A and B are shown apart, each in its own frame.
Chain A
Amino acid sequence: MATEINNTDFEIHSLDATYANEPQIEHKLYSNIKYLLVGSIFGIVFVKSEVVSWFRIQEMFRFQSFHMYGVIGSAVIVGAVSVWLIKRYKIKTISGEPITFSTKKFNKGQIYGGLIFGLGWGLTGACPGPLFAQIGMGALVVIVILLSAIAGTWVYGKYRDSLPH
């Protein structure tokens, strides 16, 4: 199994070279239920805050409402303060494991990929998270958006080495 040597992924912590070497407790599959619970609450917040709304995203990109900027901005502030507290007090996970962070290197993917994603976001009015909530809300056509997003990821994976990073 080839481990990612050229790791450009900010979201897969287990691919970090440093993290992979840390001793880890074996977690059973059912311990994933807690992530299901957090996800459900998160999904509810997404819907209730209308983050999943195509209208709100259009308003955001046209500067017709502060709402989405307020959501993202206050989320970042709360996230940043909590990360600072965790680091400051060396807080551990509920199982007593250390909480680790890594600094990711920049690559041009942030620019080109960022633009491409932004274009898609402006079209669909949804970044990946809302897609799952929208399907749950009954907008079954979003299944098609999700499938084409997976296809987009697959094509990226296939041609990655020919793209500028």
Chain B
Amino acid sequence: MIEFIKQPWPWYIGGPLIGLTVPALLLLGNKHFGISSNLRHACAICFPAKIPFFNYDYKKEIWNLFFVLGIFIGGILSVSFLLNNSPIQVNQSLVNNLAIYGITDYSSMLPPDIYNWEFLFSLRGLIMMVGGGFLVGFGTRYAGGCTSGHSIMGLSTLQWPSLIATVFFMIGGIIMSNLLLPLILSL
């Protein structure tokens, strides 16, 4: 049984479980699922700098900081107890394509060729991690939510702005992944 759990979970197990987070948070305290707002809370708590956007009663949102602390703990628990050590199975076309850029290690679902300090301090690493992170933080707040807040919670509550946001999330990702990332990885 534990060996079964240690395998990667298929979408029809993971997806519904993720979906259950929506009612779970509502039932626990009328909390609306959404993660990128924590980036805003971090700014409001640590560096509000008299900026109106960071001037709000963040104490009402402390629950969300506990939630993402939980995600962090979930990460720890997973690697400690719930993963087997098999390499991740990835589409062969992607494998072939990534090999061109020196990404060949599939021993972890987080590519070891990318998630290391040496890569981070290379030009392409800085663009991907620092640049990419910046775009994520800027874009999610500009859009008013991320995949959790818009694509899952927003669509679950049938908000059409969330549908628009989700569409543009995908367009951005498709452009980056297919057109721009190959250029960046070639640096």
Interface on A for B, CB 8 Å cutoff?
A: 1-4, 8-15, 27, 29, 31-62, 64-80, 82-83, 85-86, 91, 93-95, 97-101, 103-107, 109-124, 126-129, 132-139, 141-142, 144-158, 160, 163
Contacts and interface: CB of A to CB of B under 8 A. Distances in A.
- A-B pairs, 10 with minimum CB distance: A43-B74, A118-B172, A39-B70, A136-B75, A49-B14, A113-B142, A152-B137, A78-B19, A122-B176, A117-B139
Contacts of B14: 45-46, 48-51, 71
Interface string B23-44: 1111111111111111110110
Contact of B135 (A33, A76, A94, A119): A119
26 contacts: A4-B56, A9-B37, A44-B82, A46-B71, A49-B18, A64-B91, A69-B11, A73-B15, A75-B152, A79-B152, A106-B160, A107-B161, A115-B171, A118-B170, A118-B175, A120-B172, A122-B181, A127-B36, A127-B146, A128-B39, A135-B75, A138-B79, A145-B133, A147-B133, A156-B141, A160-B53
A37 to B, nearest CB: 7
A-side binding surface: helix, strand, loop or mixed?
helix
B139 A104 contact: no
B5 to A, nearest CB: 8
Given A38-B67, A42-B18, A72 B147 contact: yes
B74 A152 contact: no
B29 to A, nearest CB: 5
A124 B172 contact: no
A48 B71 CA distance: 12
Interface residues of B, number: 136
Contact of B15 (A9, A13, A49): A49
Contact of A54 (B111, B120, B139): B111
A34 B130 CA distance: 33
A122 B153 CA distance: 21
Nearest to A38: B24
A114 B72 contact: no
A104 B51 contact: no
A43 B78 contact: yes
A53 to B, nearest CB: 4
Interface of B: 5, 8-40, 42-43, 47, 49, 51-57, 60-64, 66-79, 82-83, 88, 90-91, 93-94, 98, 106, 109-111, 114-117, 119-120, 127-162, 164-178, 180-181, 184
A138 B60 CA distance: 30
Contacts of B34: 10-12
Given A117-B139, A128-B39, A144-B130, A13 B30 contact: yes
A48 B9 contact: yes
Nearest to A82: B23
